[in-house]
Structure 1
Amino acid sequence: MVLDLGAGGGKLCFIAAQVVGPTGRVIGIDCNREMLALATRHAPAVAARL
């Protein structure tokens, strides 16, 4: 499990998701809704799990 505080656009979350694989879990937290929306747009397949 990876917890990314201040995830921003999600770049580190997406890298971590590749490392932990399909059985792992990555949680990205950010107080800026626009950055979370950006992360969602950049990786629709991963965004379905956000």
Structure 2
Amino acid sequence: MQLLPTLKRLHITTYNAKLEATNNLIKLIKRNAFGFRNFENFKKGFLSL
């Protein structure tokens, strides 16, 4: 039964890593969008890459 706490901790760490990666991606997109007046211009610039 000593294995159960270790497995729970690994599961939480894995879930946290996925969440942190998603948050990082959102912040990166917001940082790249800085300076565009509206979302359509950002989308056009992003798709032209």
* TM-score of the aligned structures, taking structure 2 as reference length: 0.29
Structure number, greater radius of gyration: 2
Greater relative contact order (CA < 8 Å, ≥ 6 in sequence): 1
Which structure has more helix as a fraction of its residues? 2
* TM-score of the aligned structures, taking structure 1 as reference length: 0.28
